Amino acid sequence: MKSWTKKEIKMSDIRYIVNVEAVIYRDDQYLLIKRSDKEEHAPGILSNAGGKVEIKNPQKEVLEKTLIREIKEEVDIELKSPFHYLESKSFYLDKKELIIDIIFLCEYKSGQAKCKDKEEVDQVYWLSYKEIMANKEIEDWLKNTIAKAEKFRKK
């Protein structure tokens, strides 16, 4: 992914997109999705489930509500609350779009995880921490996030 210098980008030209992700755990496993090959950003990679914040009116708990909606839309499961803030990141989608990514640790509540929308999700996997860390197809940034989640859970 290309990175741009501050000189090349004017702050007034940047469109900010808020995204939420869920590191979902059930017992000693984490739910990962394989993103659809049709996705514009990061097609075909393993990642956490989540998505963009899309609201028309001000509301309370916007991040939490977005997470609940996105998880239901993508993998058709419910989460226990409360969710625990884990970390945040930012990255450029392209020169004009900066993603603000907020990641929560969430416990599985109910439902059978499945691909609800093949346009977004190709596969769902429940994997142990060891399986995730040993998997060469999983990006380091995702392994680092899962490691933070595991450390938080084992406190």
Q: What is the model's pLDDT at position 117?
A: 83
Superfamily of domain covering 12-153: Nucleoside Triphosphate Pyrophosphohydrolase (3.90.79.10)
Mean pLDDT of the chain: 91
Length of the chain: 155
Query: Which residues, in sequence order, are CB contacts of 51 under 8 Å at separation 6+?
Result: 19, 20, 66, 69, 70, 73, 74
Q: What is the model's pLDDT at position 14?
A: 87
Give the pLDDT band (50/70/90) at residue 83. very high
Q: How much is the average pLDDT of 26-33?
A: 97
Domain locations along the chain:
12-153
The pair of structure tokens assigned to 124 is: 């769902």
Give the pLDDT band (50/70/90) at residue 1. very low
Give the pLDDT band (50/70/90) at residue 5. low
Q: pLDDT tens digits for 54-82?
A: 988 888 999 999 999 999 999 999 999 99
Q: How much is the average pLDDT of 31-40?
A: 89
Q: How much is the average pLDDT of 30-58?
A: 90
Q: pLDDT tens digits for 87-128?
A: 999 988 877 889 999 999 999 999 999 999 888 899 999 999
CB 39 within 8 A of CB 117: no
Q: Measured between alpha carbons, how far is 73 from 49 in angstroms, rounded to an integer?
A: 10
Q: What is the model's pLDDT at position 30?
A: 98
Whether residue 28 is predicted with pLDDT greater than 80 in this model: the reply is yes
Query: Which residues, in sequence order, are CB contacts of 4 under 8 Å at separation 6+?
Result: 92, 95
**The whole model's pTM is what?**
0.89
Q: What is the model's pLDDT at position 9?
A: 60
